Amino acid sequence: MADTGPDFQRLGDDLYRHWESAMSTWWDQVLESDDVLRATGQNLSAMASARKSYEEGVDQGLKRLHLPTRQDLIQVTRIATLLEERLLQLEDRLLRMDDGVTQLQEHIVVLERETVQARIEAAEARIELREGLAKITARLDALEPASAPKKRGQRRAPARSGTKARSASKARAATAAEE
Amino acid sequence: MAPKLHTATAPVAEALRRAQVLTSFLASRPVARARTGQTPHRVIHRQNGAALRYFPPSGARVRPPLFICMPLINTWTIFDLVPGRSVVEALVQAGVPVYLLDWGRPTTADREVTLQDLVDGVLPRALDRALRHARQHHGSQTLDALGYCVGGTFLAISLARQPGPVRRIALLAAPIDFHASGRLSRWARPDRFPLDDLVDGLGNFPRDLMRASFQALRPTGQIAKYKTLWDRAADPEFRKLWAAIEHWNADNVDFPGEAYRSYVRGCYFDNALMKGGWTLAGRAVDLKKGALSALAIAAEQDHICPSVAAFGLKQAWGGPVRTTTLRGGHVGVCLGQALPRTILSWLDEARP
């Protein structure tokens, strides 16, 4: 004969499985039974009514003693809850206003950036124009000896400022046109 | 012939060893001492007990932020149970900034909180605050949103009513076709379930009743969990996880009464997310108006929200819907590695 004893673990597991299966079947019948469920409902209803009567009795006793009742407590808490809700609604509004201000600030920053950019571009355009004018002036100055030969003894003008040079050039150009 | 003594006594000795380990384990009150929700985070917004928890990413690569809407009937810590078994931990380690909406613990005084307070007030505002934070800290202009269980149902309702800053949604084990949600839907019928009596009499729907209902869905489950503990008694990591799950299981929260009345009437009694015709505060609850791209995730062995109930989104939702199924039950699906992997791959799909 094999040298093994009974497997108590397996035996226990099998017993448990059979017990659970049988109990589950029985409980399923009980807990799905219309009669049981109706009776449970009636029982719960009676329990709730008894509890309500008891609490109404306690409330009346407290009222006679001029003490706050459970109903008073519930009403005060409801008021506190509604007040908290109002406060949070105000907080919501403030947060939305804050969102609006933030958006406005972002918009202003964008606008400012665009304005500064436009001013920089205008300034750059003016600088370019001036440089262009200066180049033209320089060319005109360079053309000057060729178009109008210097008279003997005429001294070369010292280095002139841009404005003076331009007015002199203009004058020379006008003279040339008249000629 | 009788078995030899040493082979017959070995299983008994083993059983005694296990019993000793488990006795000392249970005597140390592991469930009460279990610590959940340990991933570092901070609360960035509060409203009437609800808290928006921000978990900063810890990975080198930052992924798109994720908003998570948790269910109202349990605590949020199922997504951060223990290190190594935490959805949130896995996500932040992969570089996802996580914003988690924890609904808090409604008290007796919250019985008049309505469903529209939650889906039109708390939830959209939490989304707004999460987006503001994500925009400031992570340069994100939109959020992806994940809802678990009832949190997913609420997320769908809320986003169908007001789209907000969300780009796409994923609903995990979130019932949409409530008449397909198994035993719960058969219990919660107007002729059997005294909804108005319960809300009028008890105020909030009490957590003890909630826990009892879920336990009654699988009565043998209460024995099965001890059987599993017995089988894996030698594994200290499993014992730790078992205690954490039990800790979470015992930590239900009350459902605010008026919100519960609307939820059960609209979802369970009328199945209005599928059939339509539901109005909240004068506005229709119409999931067909939801235009976002959606992913419905179901768990294979889910007895609370079977895949048919979760995949009802395909018919009900206005936008494109994809579906996928993961291994595990309604709770177990949150404990494996498959869920964070699925979420990460879903988040990466949308990267520009």
Indicate if the pLDDT at residue A179 is higher than 50. Answer: no
What pLDDT score does A5 carry? 62
Task: Return the closest-CA partner of residue B78 out of B257, B331, B350.
Answer: B331
Q: What mean pLDDT comes out for the span A125-142?
A: 93
Beta bridge partners of B66: B98, B144
Rg (CA), chain B: 22
Share of chain A above pLDDT 90, in %: 52
What's the sign of the alpha-carbon dihedral B16, B21, B22, B24? positive
Residue, of B31 and A173, whose pLDDT is higher: B31
- Check CB contact of B121 with chain A, cutoff 8 Å: yes
- Band (B109; pLDDT cuts 50, 70, 90): confident
- Band (B208; pLDDT cuts 50, 70, 90): very high
Q: What mean pLDDT comes out for the span B48-77?
A: 92
Is the Cβ–Cβ distance between B79 and B86 less than 8 Å?
Answer: yes
Give the H or E element holding residue B280. strand B279-280
Tokens of B300: 């294979």
Mean pLDDT, chain B, rounded, equals 92
Q: Which residue of A has its CA nearest to B205?
A: A48
- Band (A2; pLDDT cuts 50, 70, 90): very low
Indicate if the pLDDT at residue A141 is higher than 50. Answer: yes
Residue, of A162 and B171, whose pLDDT is higher: B171
Residue-range domains of chain B with CATH: 34-206+254-348 (3.40.50.1820)
- Band (B273; pLDDT cuts 50, 70, 90): very high
Q: Give the SS3 label for residue B100.
A: strand
Half-sphere exposure of A86 (CA within 13 A, CB side): 5
Tokens of A50: 């008894």
Q: Distances in Å between the alpha carbon of B326 and those of B67, B92, B173, B176, B296?
A: 21, 21, 10, 18, 11
Tokens of B302: 């889910």
Q: What mean pLDDT comes out for the span A50-54?
A: 93
CA B72 to centroid of chain Cα atoms: 8
Q: Distances in Å between the alpha carbon of B182 and those of A32, A142, B87, B305, B348?
A: 11, 103, 27, 7, 34
Of A115-124, A145-154, B163-172, B320-329, the one with minimum mean pLDDT is A145-154
Q: What mean pLDDT comes out for the span A127-154?
A: 79
What pLDDT score does B38 carry? 93
Indicate if the pLDDT at residue B60 is higher than 90. Answer: no
- Cβ atoms within 10 Å, residue B337: 11
What pLDDT score does B181 carry? 87
**Neighboring chain B residues of A23 at a CB cutoff of 8 Å:** 219-220
Flag if A16 and B227 touch (Cβ within 8 Å). Answer: yes
Give the H or E element holding residue B148. strand B143-148
pLDDT tens digits, B150-207: 999 999 999 999 988 899 999 999 999 999 988 888 899 999 899 999 999 999 999 9
Flag if B220 and A27 touch (Cβ within 8 Å). Answer: yes
**Neighboring chain B residues of A88 at a CB cutoff of 8 Å:** 47, 125
Q: What mean pLDDT comes out for the span B325-329?
A: 94
- Band (A1; pLDDT cuts 50, 70, 90): very low
Please tell me the distance from the alpha carbon of residue B241 to that of residue B277, in angstroms, as a whole number: 44
Q: Which residue of A has its CA nearest to B222?
A: A20
Q: What mean pLDDT comes out for the span B52-75?
A: 92
Name the residue among A5, A40, A77 with its Cβ closest to that of B8. Answer: A5
Name the residue among A5, A27, A40 with its Cβ closest to that of B3. Answer: A5
- Band (B4; pLDDT cuts 50, 70, 90): low
